[in-house]
Amino acid sequence: MQPSPDRALPTAADVDAAAQRLAGVALRTPLLISPVLDALTGARVFLKAETLQRTGSFKFRGAYNKLSSIPPAERAGGVVAFSSGNHAQGVAAAARLLGMPAVIVMPADAPRPKRERTAALGAEVVLYDRAREDRQAIAQEIAHKRHAALVPPYDDALIIAGQGTTGREIVEDLAAQGLVPEVIAVTASGGGLTAGIALAVKARMPQARLYTAEPEGFDRVGAGAAVSDEEVAAAVAFAFRELKLVVEPGGAAALAALLSGKIDVKGKIAVAVLSGGNVDPELFYRLVA
């Protein structure tokens, strides 16, 4: 996210404000441990299970923070978002809780369960052809016609601040055990989760090191790791077999980076964020079978 004259960058104080808005609404997801994982990595590892968050991913945090910040007098037009899955469901759920209409622009080839879950949360789903149409342009046109607020998936200060509450909880919950995180691994994706967690963690624990993890071919980050499809699949299977958690491939990248040794955490207190658990059932079966 780049600063501009009319758009300020988020701060750690914005994350704290988001935490107040989300209190009692978003789930405070647990930090899970696994002796097997500790033995494999030679570290003391905690897994931040955002797979257990409302709608199955961290995306609900940013969506609710964004929507709840819209003044009540301006909510009648509702909101418009563009997403193929997790952001769509997060915005739809937040809009329902706040009594706002929501339109979600989704690709026509998005998995049917994701489209159906988004609609079941009360949103109007508008499909587009991702090969020929621009989803953001479609969403902007709808927002203009309906006098609705556009809710981007990551490039927004309120979205980033909401996602940052994930990192705030990590620091607080480890501190309650007398522990300080030395390494935190986060799936990068659009960057909103990474940016938010960095804001929250660095304000409290500046010595902590943050690393991003992405599937090979999508790695465009500096201090991070690129994990193969095979390593991601192994992480999905590990989470299911050892932790009894369903984690989507994209949400397992940080765990894959630790398991593969691409982020070295030996002898350290480390955290990996499991960012989402919305996976197609057939794909999940193939990965864990």
Q: Report, as residue numbers or ranges, the catalytic residues.
A: 59, 84, 214, 217, 219, 275
Asked whether the beta carbons of 105 and 82 are under 8 A apart, the reply is yes
Looking only at the bridges linking them, the beta strands covering 31-32 and 44-49 are: antiparallel
Please state, in angstroms and rounded to a whole number, the distance separating the CA atoms of residues 260 and 245.
19
Structure tokens at 41: 């990595």
Looking only at the bridges linking them, the beta strands covering 183-187 and 209-215 are: parallel
**Of 284, 279, 274, the residue nearest 30 (C-alpha):** 274
Q: How many CB atoms lie within 10 A of CB 271?
A: 29
Residue 253 belongs to what H/E stretch? Answer: helix 253-259
Structure tokens at 78: 């509702």
Asked whether the beta carbons of 184 and 201 are under 8 A apart, the reply is yes
